[in-house]
Amino acid sequence: MARRLRPVEIDFVGAAPVRLVFARNIAAPPEQVFRALAEDVPGWTQWFSAVTSARATDGGAGREIRLRGGTRFTETVLVAKAPEVYAYRVDTADAPGARALVEEWRLAPHGTGTRVRWTFAADGTAPFRFVLTLARPGLKRAFRDAVTSLDRRLSGR
């Protein structure tokens, strides 16, 4: 059953009790990566294997996401500043123990490509925070695989 999470703002990314940060360089330019993140929400299913369904809501101001295993989220886009940052807050989730969650994607030029940095900022019950800490290697792998797949998709490889 979906529960409403605390409606935090973008500054939560720097203040969250749990912050998992991952970065990777890819060949695609920042403008292309930003478009894939912010403007092609349904396309997430093509490159982020954990995402089974994704759709923009409220004219792009929100998102509905389903993950493998059945977890569902409704989200509000907090920042969409092309081609530098795309961030969203989870408003409702059926993840037990979650109280607040923001994901931020920062894009920076790196040669002719992009340095992609993903911050997963969260708060929740003590067991939820502990499980997230244990999940760090899996989230790191999911990020690496997703960004590598996105790069292949954008470069047509």
List pLDDT tens digits, range 3-16. 999 999 999 999 99
Q: What is the pLDDT of residues 116-134, one digit of tens each?
A: 999 999 999 999 999 999 9
d(CA 60, CA 153): 22
d(Cα 128, Cα 99) in Å, to the nearest integer?
9
Question: What's the predicted TM-score (pTM) here?
Answer: 0.95
Tokens representing 25 are 């360089």
Beta-carbon contacts of 35 under 8 Å, excluding residues fewer than 6 positions away, are 82
Phi, psi of 71 (to 5 degrees): -60, 135
Task: Read off the pLDDT band of 157 (50, 70, 90).
Answer: low
pLDDT of residue 133: 93
Number of other residues whose CB lies within 10 A of the CB of residue 30: 20
pLDDT digits (tens, 9 = 90+) for 67-92: 999 999 999 999 999 999 999 999 99
